[in-house]
Amino acid sequence: MKPKRIEILGVPVDCLTMDRTIELADLALTGDVAQSIVAVNPEKVMRARIDAGLRGQMQRAAVLIPDGIGVVAAARMLGLGHFDRVPGSELMPKLCELAARTGRRVFLYGASPEVNERTVKVLGERYRGLKISGAQHGYLKDEEMPGLIDRINRSKTDIVFVALGSPKQEAWIDRYLPQLNVKLCQGVGGTFDVISGHVNRAPAAFRAVHLEWFYRLAANPNRLARQSALPGFVFQVFKQRLEGKAN
């Protein structure tokens, strides 16, 4: 059964928990149609509100995980549902565990050559039995895509992890998934950077109180431009809540 899909400020997201997401992934691995997993966070919601292309790509995704705590809080505030945050950076390792346990093959596409190579090495060491069927850094030209698609298909890959950043990875998945003979494709953003050790995740104490975004901003002030969408997101959610009460 498909998860309940709601809309936050007109942008879709699925009501999920991590366990339920893993169940859906496991089902997809036994299916005949390639499925996609796309993360939803406040920044992406605000961008999708003005970017019809991105909004359409999200609407066509099989699974839209509530990656940002702001999305979870907004859904509760607006009375749309109670569900958990499903961080994409935690989902990818769990899918690697699932792949190692069930003999599935994974392919890593994206990030810099150094980060991509290091991620392959770390995953191979961390998950005994994980079959990494191939890897490719993200610095490819459009004319090289047919060759990449052919490589992935010939490798008999089950799961493709796409680390191109948003909105590039959503566009790539939406465009090329129909050409891939795979079971599952997840957009993972900067997760390769975390796994490779290039970027550190927030300490557990920050994650426990849902302040990972603040830690990442403090550690990298260059993220300020990206985080600038947060105040607008909060404002629009409160506005929608007040308008709902007025009606």
Q: What is the pLDDT of residues 43-69, one digit of tens each?
A: 999 999 999 999 999 999 999 999 989
**The pLDDT of residue 199:** 77
**pTM, to two decimals:** 0.89
Residue 40, domain CATH: 3.40.50
Question: Is 59 within a domain?
Answer: yes
Question: Is 54 within a domain?
Answer: yes
Tell me the average pLDDT of the chain. 91
**The pLDDT of residue 24:** 97
CA 80 to chain centre: 22
Question: Is 239 within a domain?
Answer: no
Domain residues for the domain of 142 are 5-196
Residue whose entry in the numeric block shows the structure tokens 């010939």: 154
* pLDDT over 90 at 23, yes or no: yes
Tokens of 204: 């557990």
**What's the rounded Cα separation, in Å, for the pair 85 and 41?**
10
Predicted confidence (pLDDT) per residue in 197-210, tens digit: 987 665 666 556 55
* pLDDT over 80 at 226, yes or no: no
Question: Is 232 within a domain?
Answer: no
**What's the rounded Cα separation, in Å, for the pair 238 and 141?**
42
Query: 243 pLDDT band (50/70/90 cuts)?
Result: confident
* pLDDT over 60 at 219, yes or no: no
**The pLDDT of residue 230:** 85
**The pLDDT of residue 198:** 85
Question: Is 215 within a domain?
Answer: no
Question: Is 118 within a domain?
Answer: yes
* pLDDT over 80 at 1, yes or no: no
Predicted confidence (pLDDT) per residue in 76-105, tens digit: 999 999 999 999 999 999 999 999 999 999
**The pLDDT of residue 228:** 72
Predicted confidence (pLDDT) per residue in 144-178, tens digit: 999 999 999 999 999 999 999 999 999 999 999 99
Predicted confidence (pLDDT) per residue in 96-141, tens digit: 999 999 999 999 999 999 999 999 999 999 999 999 999 999 999 9
Query: 37 pLDDT band (50/70/90 cuts)?
Result: very high
**The pLDDT of residue 216:** 58
First to last CA, the chain: 33
Q: Are 138 and 164 a contacting pair, CB within 8 Å?
A: yes
Question: Is 233 within a domain?
Answer: no
Q: Are 224 and 74 a contacting pair, CB within 8 Å?
A: no
Q: What is the count of structural domains for the chain?
A: 1
Question: Is 85 within a domain?
Answer: yes
**The pLDDT of residue 229:** 82
Establish how many alpha carbons lie within 13 A of residue 176's alpha carbon, considering only the half-sphere containing its beta carbon: 25
